[in-house]
A = this chain, B = another copy of it.
Amino acid sequence: MENNLWKHIVTVRQESPLVHNITNYVVMNNTANALLAAGASPIMAHAKSEVEEMVAISLALVVNIGTLDEYWVESMILAARKAKSLKKPWILDPVGAGATSYRDNVLSELLILKPTVIRGNASEIIALSKANITATKGVDSTAKSDEAIQAAENLVRNYGSIVCISGETDIIINGNDKIFLKNGHEMMTKVTGLGCTASALIGAFIGVIENKTEAVVAAMSLLSISGQLAANKSAGPGSLQLHIIDKLYNITEEEFSADLKLDS
C-alpha cells in the first residue's frame, strides 16, 4: 500500500474530482480551500431543489452534520440516497455524535444509506455504534482512538463502511485490515474543523481512487503529514490553519515519503 499513496495524491491533482459537500458553516471556507489546494474541485450545495442533481454531476459526496438542522438533514438524506442509488462513493462525518438525541437520530437515518466511509474521532465513533460507553463532550474527543476500535468494527459489520477513527493515531478499519497512521501534530487539535477537512479530502480521494481503503489512507496521510510539516513552522493555530493549506498545495513526494509512519 505505501508505494501507492503518493500515486493517489498525484491522481487527485490530475483528475481534479468535483466533490459535493453538504457540510457545516464553521468549516466551509477551510474545507473548500483544502480541496482546492489538494487539486480537487469543491462545490458546496444544500438546496433540496438541487442536491440530487448536484450529486449526479459530482464524483463523490461529503455529508458532515456539524451545524445540522431539520432542513439540512432532509437535504443530506436526499443527497445520500441519490449517491447510494447511483453507486457514487460518499462519506459521513458524524460531528458531535452522542451530544444530543437529535444528532443520534439523524445519524441512524444516514447510516441506513450505507456510507462508503465514516470518519470521526473516537468519541463520535463510539457514540455512532450505539455502544455509548463514553459521554461525548461537545465536538472534541474524550476517548482514546484504540478504545473505539470495537465500535468501528461494529459499524464495518453493520453498514459495510470503511471506518476511520482519527486521533493521535489514525486508525483505518475495513472488513479485513486495520491500518495505523502515526502522523500529525498535537497543535492540529487547536484548529477548528481539521477533522472536517480530513473527511472532505477523503471525499476527493474516494471519488477517483478505485481501492477505497487506500484512498482513505492516502487522504489521511496527506493531511496529517502536511499538518506536522506546517506545525513545525507555526507560532500557533492561526498560522497553522493557513500553513496546512499551503503544504497541501506544495508538498513534494520527498517530503511525503520521508515522514510517512504507517503500520498495518
Contacts and interface: CB of A to CB of B under 8 A. Distances in A.
Interface of A: 18, 24-30, 32-33, 36-37, 41-50, 53-54, 57-58, 66-71, 96, 99-103, 137-140, 189-193, 234-239, 241-250
A29 B236 contact: no
30 contacts: A18-B137, A27-B29, A29-B29, A32-B192, A32-B193, A33-B192, A37-B236, A41-B137, A42-B138, A42-B192, A43-B96, A47-B69, A47-B70, A48-B69, A49-B102, A50-B102, A53-B100, A53-B101, A54-B99, A54-B100, A57-B99, A69-B71, A234-B246, A235-B250, A236-B246, A236-B249, A238-B244, A238-B246, A239-B243, A241-B242
B246 A237 contact: yes
Each complex incorporates copies of this chain amounting to 3
A12 to B, nearest CB: 14
A33 B24 CA distance: 15
A46 B33 contact: no
A41 B140 contact: yes
A247 B43 CA distance: 28
Contact of A191 (B36, B57, B70, B248): B36
